[in-house]
Amino acid sequence: MVLSACGVIKKEEKEMKKYFASGVVVLLPLALTFWIVSFIIGVLTTPFLGIAATILAALGLHNVSFLFLSPEQVLQFASTLLVLIFLIFFILGIGAIGRHFFFKYVMKLSDALLHKIPVISTVYKTSQELIQTILTTSNKSFKQVVLVPFPTAESWCIGLVTRDDEEMENRIAVFVPTTPNPTSGFLVLFNRDQVVPLDMKVEEALRYVISCGVLLTPIRKSEQGQQTQGQPVQGQPAAVVQPTSEQT
């Protein structure tokens, strides 16, 4: 019986040691984190606590108690919180201003350097103007999907309008992408009455081209395309023939 009781006690001691070690493992990181954060907050807020306490006292908070906290403790806590909030917004403001001006300065410097390098400057300027034109919200380039007679009058291809304004007179510039690589293609000027606007998103058109027509999206005329504009298109597009890369 005595041996059995001793065995039980030793077993309980081992279990207690395991529980104690587990508790230390859980609480020690939390305690260290709390101590480090408290130390940093103290270092940052201590120089300004006097000013914050004066402001709060002027607002009548020096005689306010809360639960088990005395008025002095409430004033100390409120002053620390006020200084901490002010420092957070101050740091965010300084970071935003510094990042904006620094990033803007770096972009201007790199832009000026690239504009002075022979050959590279030509490619860079062209790419820069193209991207700015495409990404401009007021610009309609590459945002309208159309159906055009290409490469012959009897066949039809999907294209993207690149320019359609008064300077083009009665013509529309259309980019006809090749399949399965839509980054290459043909830039063709069509008469306005040859172009059929489609009720199709650009993403759907590109998916159709890249898949070589496997992922077919229903081809429907848009409301603009259903309206009569000049001379009607001779014939209806019975099928869409997309030129392959080999035809280029």
Residue 113 corresponds to which tokens in the numbers above? 């350097």
Burial class of residue 177 in the structure, from the number of CB atoms within 10 Å of its CB (0-12 exposed, 13-18 middle, 19+ buried): buried
Q: Provide DSSP, 8-25.
A: HHHHHHHHHHHHHHHHHH
Which run of H or of E encompasses 92? helix 71-116
Tell me if residue 165 falls in helix, strand or coil.
Answer: coil
**pLDDT of amino acid 18:** 82
Tell me if residue 1 falls in helix, strand or coil.
Answer: coil
Domain ranges of the chain: 16-139, 140-226+237-247
Residue 42 corresponds to which tokens in the numbers above? 């103290």
Tell me if residue 107 falls in helix, strand or coil.
Answer: helix
Tell me if residue 244 falls in helix, strand or coil.
Answer: strand
Alpha carbon distance 233, 239 (integer Å): 15
Tell me if residue 190 falls in helix, strand or coil.
Answer: strand
Residue-wise pLDDT tens digits, 33-56? 888 888 888 888 888 888 888 888
- This prediction's pTM: 0.41
Position 210, amino acid: I
Q: Are 159 and 175 in contact (CB under 8 A)?
A: yes
**pLDDT of amino acid 159:** 92
Residue-wise pLDDT tens digits, 197-238? 988 888 888 888 888 887 776 777 766 655 534 444 444 443
Residue-wise pLDDT tens digits, 59-113? 777 677 777 777 788 888 888 888 989 988 988 888 888 777 777 787 788 888 8
Cis check: omega of the bond before 182, within 30 degrees of 0: no
Q: Which residue has the tokens 């229903």?
A: 218
